[in-house]
Structure 1
Amino acid sequence: MTDTYAVPTASGLPDHADLLDATRTVRQVFAATPQQVWPLLSQALGTTAWVKHENHTPLGAFKARSALVYFDRLARSGELPAGVVSATRGNHGQALAFAAAQHGIPATVVVPRGNSREKNAAMQALGADLVEYGDDFQESLEHAARMADERGIALAPNFHPWLVAGAGTYAMELLTAVPDLDVVYVPIGLGSGVCGMLAAKAALRHPVEVVGVVSAGATAYADSLTAGTLVSSPVTTQIADGMACRTPVSEALALIRDGVSRLVVVSDEEVADAMRLLFRATHNVAEGAGAAATAAAAQDRARNQGRTIGVVVTGGNVDTDVYAAALGRPA
């Protein structure tokens, strides 16, 4: 018998049962990632700080969860396509290739010119057909949509309720493990990661304050919230490629507007400092987007006195030369 799943409305989030089902799907492939308090990091941030280590998934980023759930839901609904194409800066593309291969589906990923060399290589190693097109993610996304029409294959979304359900599994782990968490910082790219946190908060009725983090070189979500409508903003970040969003997703924007308490904007310099801090204090590698939550918490050091905070290290996939430059910054 085939399972069917209703797609929630734009204003909805995956519920508790949906998140538990997504967790079962993820568990078939890998175990829960750790959340840990590192004394040196807590000292630097001025309070007890829990790190959620999504850099410890098999693909080094939380996106693995989302793609596994997305393709599992397609399979259980009897709707697996003959092939998929999507746009990415790296982690989404790796996850797409990884999950599609488990179902015998070829995956094509479109990346902008000048994309991370090592992320490109990782996607190809996972079996993806790599296409370089455009000067930024938005141009790659538009090209992927054209390719889907031309080839008659499915356009795999970058934001979708099933992707949010997959992302919500990391948040379920964190909020269940740390019931006294006061505030959690979550970076925002297109929005599935932070919306997954909002879904878990609602499902568990957890009182945690969810703070979104955007790059100063990719302020589309912050600008859209300020304007009260969806607006596009130029992308200039050189290090937080996982947050390099020029045009927000309207569904994600609505969920962020309703669920996130506030946004913190972090510069590339602050992100590089946070990458170095995470290595010094935890000996973990964080890519730019993966260090953004820590950069925001460092900004809020005085504000968080006496609070228990969480920072989500969403990924650790960073090119060697970029990481070396971040580590080499003066303290």
Structure 2
Amino acid sequence: MKHTDIRNAVRLIRDRIIRTPLIFSPTLSRLFGAEIFLKLENLQKTGSFKVRGATYKLMKHRKAIGPLGVVAASAGNHAQGVALAARNAGVPATIVMPEWASISKQEATRSYGGDVILHGRSVGESLERAKDLAKTDRMFIHPFDDADIVTGQGTIGLEILSEMPDTDMILVPVGGGGLISGISAAVKPVRPDIRIIGVQASACPSAFESLRHGGVTHVDARRSLADGISVKQPGELTFRLIRKYAETVVLAEEEQIAAAILMLLERKKILAEGAGAVPLAALLNNSVRPDPDSKVVLVISGGNVDSPVLGRVIRKGLLKKGRIMRVRLYLEDSPGALSKLLTQIAQLRANVLHIVHDRDVKDLPISITYVDLELETRGPAHVDEIRAALKKEGYNIGLESYP
């Protein structure tokens, strides 16, 4: 793979993809003592960088693709990227997805023109099925371990350099390694001093362990918010490029990934999936410490997160940060008691999110009722203020949940 190949890829795909924005974040810059920029691939077509590599692959080999088109396997972003790229190139696309793939991602892939086949209990089994289908005159498009795919992803690196040639560090999510390989191959030949650091979920540290062992290593994976980078083994090609160009690969825990998703959403109004949020998670857990005043780019690789997952992340994050308080109070079962309590809560500037008022509870005295409250607060200090005020008023506080 040559640097000129990536420059050619820019010209070939530029009318078919979005040149995504590179934005400065004053909030994150103050927090980490460096100039933090976000490369927003979550705003890319299909909501992920994957369409870049797929588009380049199809455009480069368009004349060699037979009437049955192309085939790929993926649980999400690669599936959508290939489906859209194939539709734009005017060829059929067969996408094999594991049986557990989310309905929303299945439907998104179909909406881009992909013919979805559900097969396998893992992406690996889906890949084997896709490779079998490739024997029937379909072009197989690997999600990462392919020189053309890597070349297409590398266009991100050239976009970063064209807008900010004095970049000091780029933090890149790592799964199979196609994204970091492409960005590194685009950037390092012209700016060898730029630090390229990969970030993986600790639930599936395949590239991390491969670097540690000095060769491609297969790992077991736990369930992760960063499912888009839960790849149990990097590619042979991508591992060589990671070892050649990347400074290191660091890890992020699930709580840190969740905190990063919430921070991007609250502070920057940016919706990032777990895989896209891991660069920020690496800053939050101090596994990466930028030099003061250096220019750091976080590649927000995608924004395809299922709504139920996002809801759980937000609620768990608010609980952990003390922005939600749960408390059980025991009251005299008399007229006005509940109204008085709620008035006092309002005076404490807390917002009632949920309330359960029940007097029919076994073992409670007939004159006592309980109230479960879920309150929105400003944070831990506000929670302490509410708790102290309620106790001062003589309320009997039972089960409490904070954080």
Shared fold, TM over 0.5: yes
Structure showing the higher strand proportion among its residues: 2
Residues 202-225 of structure 1: per-residue CA shift (max 9 Å, x gap): 343352100011111111111122
Contact 2:264 2:270 in 1 (8 A): yes
Query: Per-residue deviation at 1:24?
Result: 1.4
The number of residues matched between the two structures is 315
Residue in 1 that maps onto 2:82: 96
Query: Which of the residues 203, 207, 213 maps onto 2:193?
Result: 207
Query: Per-residue deviation at 1:180?
Result: 2.1
Query: Per-residue deviation at 1:116?
Result: 2.7
Structure 2 letter corresponding to 1:155: F
* Cα RMSD (Å): 1.7
Structure 1 letter corresponding to 2:33: G
Structure 2 letter corresponding to 1:326: V
- Secondary structure, aligned partner of 1:311: strand
Q: Does 1:14 align with 2:18?
A: no
Residue in 1 that maps onto 2:164: 178
Q: Show the 5 A alignment for 1:69-84.
A: 69-75=56-62, 78-82=63-67, 83-84=69-70
Query: Which of the residues 301, 314, 327 maps onto 1:314?
Result: 301
| In 2: Cα distance, 1:244 partner to 1:28 partner | 31
- Secondary structure, aligned partner of 2:154: helix
Q: Does 1:299 align with 2:285?
A: yes
| In 1: Cα distance, 2:109 partner to 2:193 partner | 38
Residue in 2 that maps onto 1:240: 226
Residues 126-162 of structure 1: per-residue CA shift (max 9 Å, x gap): 111112222222222122112323x342222222111
Residue in 1 that maps onto 2:241: 255
Residue in 2 that maps onto 1:276: 262
Residue in 2 that maps onto 1:7: none
Deviates more, 1:103-112 or 1:251-260: 103-112
| In 1: Cα distance, 2:29 partner to 2:304 partner | 24
Contact 2:185 2:241 in 1 (8 A): no
Larger Rg: 2
Residues 263-305 of structure 1: per-residue CA shift (max 9 Å, x gap): 1111122111111111112101001111111111222378224
Residue in 2 that maps onto 1:221: 207
Query: Per-residue deviation at 1:14?
Result: 3.2
Query: Which of the residues 266, 273, 276 maps onto 1:287?
Result: 273
| In 2: Cα distance, 1:62 partner to 1:288 partner | 14
Residues 228-278 of structure 1: per-residue CA shift (max 9 Å, x gap): 222211121331111011122111111111111011111122111111111
Residue in 2 that maps onto 1:4: none
Structure 2 letter corresponding to 1:14: K
For residues 129 and 214 of structure 1, do their structure 2 counterparts lie closer, same or farther at Cα, with a shift above 3 Å needed?
same
* Greater relative contact order (Cα < 8 A, sep 6+): 1
- Secondary structure, aligned partner of 2:272: coil
Query: Which of the residues 4, 7, 11 maps onto 1:24?
Result: 11
Query: Which of the residues 26, 45, 62 maps onto 1:39?
Result: 26
Structure 2 letter corresponding to 1:171: G
Residues 69-97 of structure 1: per-residue CA shift (max 9 Å, x gap): 1111002xx31233221111211111101
Q: Show the 5 A alignment for 1:29-178.
A: 29-75=16-62, 78-82=63-67, 83-149=69-135, 151-158=136-143, 159-178=145-164
- Secondary structure, aligned partner of 1:49: strand
For residues 104 and 213 of structure 1, do their structure 2 counterparts lie closer, same or farther at Cα, with a shift above 3 Å needed?
same
TM-score (normalised: structure 2): 0.75
Contact 1:187 1:289 in 2 (8 A): yes
Q: Hey, which bits of structure 1, 4+ residues long, moved more than 6 A?
A: none
| In 1: Cα distance, 2:133 partner to 2:279 partner | 34
Query: Per-residue deviation at 1:191?
Result: 1.3
Structure 2 runs not aligned, ≥5 long: 322-403
For residues 45 and 301 of structure 1, do their structure 2 counterparts lie closer, same or farther at Cα, with a shift above 3 Å needed?
farther
Contact 1:137 1:246 in 2 (8 A): no
Contact 1:138 1:245 in 2 (8 A): no
